[in-house]
């Protein structure tokens, strides 16, 4: 496992176990802070969108491209980037580190998004 991934795993583990509930929701360009201090921010990049996930104001995930697609393909919509970030943040909450997404999960997100 590369050193950068090990550091991210350690940081995420430490933050995950030290999270305290606080109820604060905000929606600024799809920036949402949830009850456990996880904040999702979508952003425009190139011809699409990406997302970041913050845990207690520390960026723990920066995802400018669709994770299971080879190359540098951005999310086609802000909503799809946000839904993907919600899935990743739910994995962080469950202690799944690294919070990777399978191609099957991404297919479901695409399918639900195109309904």
Over the stretch 56-82, which tens digit does the pLDDT of each residue have?
Answer: 999 999 999 999 988 899 999 999 999
Higher pLDDT, 97 or 86: 86
Asked if residue 89 has pLDDT above 80, the reply is yes
Domain count, the chain: 1
Question: Most distant CA pair in the chain: distance in Å?
Answer: 40
Helix (H), strand (E), coil (C) string for 69-115: CCCCCCECCHHHHHHHHHHHHHHHHCCCCCCCCCHHHHHHHHHHHCC
63 vs 8: CA distance, rounded Å: 14
**Rounded to an integer, what distance in angstroms lies between the CA atom of residue 98 and that of residue 85?**
13
Domain around 48: 3-113
What is the pTM (predicted TM-score) of this model?
0.69
| pLDDT computed for residue 28 by the predictor | 44
Distance CA(11)–CA(28), nearest Å, equals: 26
Position 97 scores a pLDDT of: 87
The model's pLDDT over 7-21, given as tens digits with 9 standing for 90+, comes to 333 433 443 334 433
Q: Which of 53, 107, 101, 110 is nearest to 76 (CA)?
A: 110
Tokens of 57: 């104001």
Residue 40 has pLDDT above 90, yes or no: yes
Over residues 53-63, the pLDDT tens digits come to: 999 999 999 99
Where is pLDDT greater, at 30 or 18? 30
């Amino acid at each position: 496992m590369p050193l950068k991934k090990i550091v991210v795993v350690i940081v995420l583990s430490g933050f995950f176990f030290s999270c305290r509930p606080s109820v604060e929701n905000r929606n600024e360009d799809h920036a949402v802070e949830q009850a456990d201090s996880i904040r999702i921010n979508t952003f425009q990049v190139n011809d699409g969108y990406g997302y970041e996930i913050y845990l207690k104001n520390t960026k723990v995930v920066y995802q400018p491209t669709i994770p299971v697609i080879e190359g540098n393909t951005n999310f086609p919509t802000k909503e799809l980037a946000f839904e993907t970030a919600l899935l990743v943040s739910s994995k962080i909450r469950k202690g799944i580190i690294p919070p990777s997404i399978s191609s099957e999960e991404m297919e479901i997100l695409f399918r639900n998004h195109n309904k």
